[in-house]
Homo-oligomer: A and B are copies of this chain.
Amino acid sequence: MRLRRIAGLLGFAAMAHSPLAAQAPAPGFSPAIRRNVARLIEAAMHDTLGYSRLGFLTDTYGNRLSGSASLEHAIDWALTTMQQDGFDQVHGEPVMVPHWVRGSESVVLNTPRSTRLHLLGLGGSIGTPAAGVTAPVLVVNSFDDLTAHATDARGKIVLFDVPFPTGVLPMEGYRIAVAYRVTGAIAAAKVGAVGALIRSVASFSIQSPHTGSTHYDSTVTPIPIAALSVEDAEMLHRMQNRGQAVSVTLTMQAHTEPDAMSRNTIAEITGSERPDEVVVISGHFDSWDVGQGAMDDGGGALAAWEAVRLMQQLGIHPRRTIRVVLWTNEENGTRGGRAYHDDHRTELANHVAAIESDNGVFRPFGFTFQGSAAGLAKARQLSALLAPIGATRMIRGDAEADVEAMITDGVPGFGLLVDDTRYFWYHHSDADMMTMIDPVDFRKCLATMVVLAYVLGDMPGTLPR
């Protein structure tokens, strides 16, 4: 998932206790639409296939990093299964994706005692020489702190021990802390460090390191970078504070191979009256190479897919085409979303909306909306139809990364809004497993997604751009 605009987050917080949205009427929808909405909610709240397929996907193929065989095998399975579902236009659309490979990795504390620490290399990092990089550690608590100790950093491994901010919404805390993951290697290299470590970007930890994309730029020589668990980062910081010399050996086989072929997975129900008008409903199918990729974003992808299957099963054929897209390469390139934008550029004027779920399939509250004020006003009328699920919020905020390029071209965007309290407990870690996907929450997300997609596809007009 991507960062939302803070304005949207604050709007969410302000609305959290407002009963207004939930009590708003749902004007202007025909009895037929209302009847279909009720049928879809009923079917979604009793659905078992979506959750079951999510389990099959994540158990059988595991995590699905761009460039991996597991991602492509999972895509093959999805295409075959979508054919069996009876969808129209089932196909993969080719996308060249980055192919980063983790390899084995370790960080060993040498002094003041010898022990193996808990790490995950950051996605896109370079590796170390085979013998690793052995160096003293300089712990800093911010970029400013690094600047203040720049002369101490030369030849060392810099550890950014920056706590996940508390007292703010999780997404805002993430926005602040993730800067060290994204640019920590650049900042450390600028002052002559030979490697960089960050404290995992996590709002809670049980010795669980978290990966995610990191960046280099042309101004410095790349250095390897990895995330320590929160606990281990704090331990090294305490050691430095009490004057114990800290030295580690960081070993990473990480490397980037040539770009690989992947696919956006696409299928649809052809519109019964206006087949050229398209509602995109989506999640991303790739994941990091840890855990199962169940939360980020198997759950979102399967909810989008199952939403379309429920329409099919109930014989509901909206006027417009409902197109499910399981994006590839959200995590480390967003090339799937951009390829779709480029390949479908001429059709985007007829894309009436693009919906994505990528904040986990936790209890849904509604949607963020990215588009015009008039579009938001009309979207708020739709959201009243979600009152039976308790997911009526429709607030201004960024949608998600994969649909961003479309939105830039004017397509109204929706992001599924969920209770993300525990999102950063699991995000990009080995704990992104089926265990933390609640089947009832999954059904509620499915219901929320299918209602929005259906109504946008079947209502008389479209959202103002």
Binding site for B on A (CB under 8 A): 55-56, 59-62, 70, 112-113, 115, 118, 204-208, 230-231, 234-235, 238-239, 242, 244, 291-292, 425-426, 429-431, 433-435
Contact = CB atoms under 8 A, between A and B. Distances in A.
A205 B429 CA distance: 13
B62 A206 contact: no
A205 to B, nearest CB: 7
In the complex, the 10 A-B pairs of residues with the closest C-beta atoms, listed nearest first: A206-B206, A231-B433, A206-B431, A207-B430, A231-B435, A207-B431, A206-B208, A234-B435, A55-B238, A59-B235
Given A206-B205, A426-B206, A434 B231 contact: yes
B113 A242 contact: no
Contact of A244 (B60, B61, B235, B434): B60
Nearest to A430: B207
21 contacts: A55-B242, A59-B244, A60-B112, A60-B113, A60-B244, A62-B113, A70-B113, A118-B430, A205-B435, A206-B208, A206-B425, A206-B426, A206-B429, A206-B431, A207-B208, A230-B435, A231-B431, A234-B434, A235-B292, A235-B433, A235-B434
Contact of A62 (B61, B70, B115): B115
Nearest to A433: B231
A208 B230 CA distance: 14
Contacts of A435: 205, 230-231, 234
Nearest to A426: B206
Interface centre among A207, A208, A242 (most CB of B within 10 A): A207
A244 B235 CA distance: 42
